[in-house]
Amino acid sequence: MYIEQIKLTNYRNYDALALNFSPKINVFIGENAQGKTNVMESIYVLAMAKSHRTTNDKELIRWDSDYGKIEGAVKKRHGILPIELTITKKGKKGKINHIEQSRLSHYIGQMNVVMFAPEDLNVVKGSPQIRRRFIDMEIGQISPVYLHDLLTFQKVLKQRNHFLKMNQGKSLSNDVMYEVYNEQYIHAATQIIRKRFQFMDLLQEWAEPIHAGISQGKETLVIKYRTVAGIEKEHSTSEIENTLHQKLIEAREREFDRGVTLVGPHRDDLQFLVNGYDVQTYGSQGQQRTTALSLKLAEIELIKQETNETPILLLDDVLSELDDYRQSHLLNTIQGEVQTFVTTTSVEGIHHETMEQAQLFHVKQGAIERS
């Protein structure tokens, strides 16, 4: 899979832009704040219907415009697929092959991308919220059903939290509504937890040998999905439901006291162990970067396995964050197989034959020249 062309209308600092890409390496060179990351972001947004940089979609629309639009021509095994995303202040609409989709969950997954940016190091060393977002975004690319289940869970969670907030500090004598909310919540939460465990198994399968290769066999990476309810991947659906039910009963007093749901996948986390030690707490900066790189390379292989298409790789100002050895390992892995987009202030420090095949784009004050 690769993207042949992209067109931007009223997107960030671009009023109109059309670019054709190489199916191999595309490098955007320019100083900071010139617009190169905006192009990279637009490819990500076209694929995922959301930005990796902001949760406020209005920021994606050019400041004096009512809407922004991204159009792409994606080359897949069975031919060219036109996709389009329009962003307004009221929401987003996606089109596949010129046909508007009723839900964004039907749109996402037509073009698969793997983004690696400096902030992705936070997947390893940042907050649990960042890791949960990582899980949800990656599963969503390969499983539209998961996106639907996630939206259902978030809706039920919001309703349950509202109920708890409305009854905060009270001692309810009538438990009927409480049990109704619990039943809906447990069912929705169970679907999310099961699919996350399944995804983590697949990710582990790919990430472990990749990490061993980068560390020259000196390190073993283990990825664990840790639930606040103490659920393990071996548990059946009924065991997960029973455990959640028991934990909600135990947390009932605290939940009514605080007015918020304290047990469930919205509070779960990932743990990365290198040679048995938590790399977030005890790992060196080099080990944390190797873990992050292993995850990204594993994502490529996992998406390829699940979709029979090679995803597009987006390297946003990240090569300068990697030392020569990790940089070479990354470029060797993608060589000739993965369409890759790179943003950088200079290519002088990147010594690899892959870069000799690159299509270069020079970005200055929102103007892009191809060389």
Q: Which residues are documented as binding site for ATP?
A: 30-37
Q: Give me 352's structure tokens.
A: 């690899």
How far is Cα 259 from Cα 163, in angstroms, rounded to an integer? 8
Sheet containing strand 79-88, edge to edge, reads 14-20, 2-11, 67-76, 79-88, 91-96, 99-100
Can you tell me the distance from the alpha carbon of 167 to that of 245, in angstroms, rounded to the nearest whole number? Answer: 20
For the annotated binding site, the residues are 30-37
Residues 6+ apart with CB under 8 A from 273: 221, 222, 223, 224, 279
Token pair belonging to 153: 């869970």
User: Which residues, 6 or more positions from 72, have their beta carbon under 8 angstroms from its beta carbon?
Assistant: 3, 5, 6, 7, 43, 46, 82, 83, 84, 111
The 10 Å CB-count burial string (b at 16+, else e) for 110-121 is bbbbbbbbeebb
Could you tell me which residues come within 8 angstroms of residue 172 by beta carbon, excluding any fewer than 6 positions away?
A: 178, 256
Q: What is the DSSP letter of 310?
A: P
Largest CA distance in the chain: 73
Q: E strands, the chain, where?
A: 2-11, 14-20, 25-29, 67-76, 79-88, 91-96, 99-100, 113-116, 221-226, 269-274, 277-278, 312-316, 340-344, 359-364, 367-370
